[in-house]
């Protein structure tokens, strides 16, 4: 059930093309629903023309997305947005998604400002408007230590190149947030597709992605991935995308092994655990 105390609410409609091979809304598309709700809230705050800029641009520095329940095609998704906190060079936005009365997902977005590809402080007018609706109760985010881990790894068990596309650019001709989130999905899939699951399934429970820059480029992007932790029924992928401008995005993704009949978490069998161990960083 939605919370009417949030400053912005909207309704979003999943499309048939958003479905994955499991016939539910794909995780990268869920991420885009959070982004869409966040942008619509931005327009509510700053006006109908605030979706583009030729000067200072607001982009995510980090997003932590929790996929609480499966989201299906055929029913609208209700979204609510909060500005949790705002200071001189960043602000926090929380989005919550609901479908058929169930809370299906949450995203914590740490947002910053860029000008000519470099981090800058928030414009004064932007900061004042955000502070006027900020709740002021954002909890500290966990340390993004996976970024340093990626920088220190020489050889990843899974590497692949991805040809960049025109569709990867956003309306400001930068490599888009949505494209970079899809790159992190592709980095994971490059490893998962080779696993013999023995009839089990895998779902993503959460993704924590840090964006280091948004510069576009036309050379192939290098994707790298590996597993940094294996638990009883889950494991954590660390993946990254490197462009000609250096490391561009890094993500930690928590993957859960499930029993397909019950859709409940299942213990990782020994055969699968052995396969996962070959992918460890």
CA dihedral 179, 119, 242, 273 (to 10 degrees): -80
100 DSSP assignment = T
Question: Over pLDDT 70: what percentage of the chain?
Answer: 99
Domain span at residue 211 reads 142-281
* Predicted local confidence at residue 47, as pLDDT: 96
* Predicted local confidence at residue 85, as pLDDT: 96
Dihedral sign of CA atoms 93, 94, 99, 101 in order:
negative
Checking 44-50 for CB contacts under 8 A at 24+ apart, the result is: 44/7, 44/8, 45/129, 45/130, 45/133, 46/126, 46/129
* Predicted local confidence at residue 3, as pLDDT: 61
CB contact set of 48 (below 8 Å; sequence gap of 6+): none
On whether both 169 and 69 belong to a single domain, the answer is: no
Nearest residue to 92 (alpha-carbon basis) of 68, 110, 74:
110
* Predicted local confidence at residue 245, as pLDDT: 93
On whether both 106 and 158 belong to a single domain, the answer is: no
Dihedral sign of CA atoms 116, 120, 122, 123 in order:
negative
Report whether 203 contacts 227 (CB < 8 A). no
Tokens of 153: 């790894």
CA dihedral 65, 70, 74, 75 (to 10 degrees): -60
- How many folded domains does the chain comprise? 2
On whether both 151 and 117 belong to a single domain, the answer is: no
On whether both 224 and 126 belong to a single domain, the answer is: no
Distance between CA atoms of residues 180 and 200, nearest Å = 28
Among 149-158, 189-198, 222-231, the range with the most confident prediction by mean pLDDT is: 222-231
For the chain, the average pLDDT equals 94
On whether both 183 and 90 belong to a single domain, the answer is: no
Look at residue 220 and give its three-state secondary structure: coil
Going by pLDDT thresholds of 50, 70 and 90, the confidence category of residue 1 is low
Nearest residue to 135 (alpha-carbon basis) of 78, 89, 92, 90:
92
Distance between CA atoms of residues 116 and 57, nearest Å = 9
Residues β-bridged to residue 118: 115
The last residue of one of the domains, among 111, 141, 171, is: 141
On whether both 164 and 79 belong to a single domain, the answer is: no
Phi/psi at 83 (5° precision): -95, 115
The last residue of one of the domains, among 118, 141, 164, is: 141
- Segment 237-278, tens digit of pLDDT: 999 999 999 999 999 999 999 998 888 999 999 999 999 999
CATH classification at residue 68: 3.10.129.10
On whether both 85 and 103 belong to a single domain, the answer is: yes
Distance between CA atoms of residues 231 and 181, nearest Å = 24
The last residue of one of the domains, among 141, 167, 198, is: 141
């Amino acid at each position: 059930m939605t919370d009417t105390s949030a400053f912005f609410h909207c309704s979003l409609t999943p499309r048939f093309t958003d479905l994955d091979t499991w016939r539910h809304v794909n995780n990268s598309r869920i991420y885009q629903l959070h982004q869409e709700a966040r942008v619509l809230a931005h327009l509510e705050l700053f006006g109908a023309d605030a979706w583009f800029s030729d000067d200072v641009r607001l982009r995510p520095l980090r997003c932590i997305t929790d996929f609480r329940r499966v989201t299906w095609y055929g029913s609208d998704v209700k979204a609510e947005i909060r500005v949790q906190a705002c200071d001189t060079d960043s602000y926090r936005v929380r989005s919550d998604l609901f479908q058929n009365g169930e809370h299906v997902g949450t995203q914590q977005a740490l947002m910053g400002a860029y000008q000519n590809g470099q981090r800058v402080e928030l414009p004064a007018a932007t900061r004042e408007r955000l502070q006027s609706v900020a709740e002021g109760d954002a909890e500290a985010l966990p340390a993004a230590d996976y970024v340093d881990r990626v920088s220190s790894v020489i050889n990843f068990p899974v590497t692949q190149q991805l040809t960049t596309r025109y569709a990867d650019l956003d309306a400001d001709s930068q490599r888009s947030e949505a494209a970079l989130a899809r790159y992190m999905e592709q980095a994971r899939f490059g490893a998962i597709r080779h696993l013999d699951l023995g009839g089990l399934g895998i779902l993503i429970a959460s993704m924590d992605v840090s964006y280091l820059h948004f510069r576009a480029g036309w050379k192939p992007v290098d994707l790298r991935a590996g597993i940094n932790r294996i638990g009883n029924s889950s494991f954590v992928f660390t993946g990254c995308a490197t462009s000609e401008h250096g490391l561009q995005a890094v993500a930690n993704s928590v993957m859960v092994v499930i029993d397909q009949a019950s859709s409940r978490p299942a213990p990782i069998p020994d055969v699968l655990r052995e396969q996962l161990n070959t992918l460890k960083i």
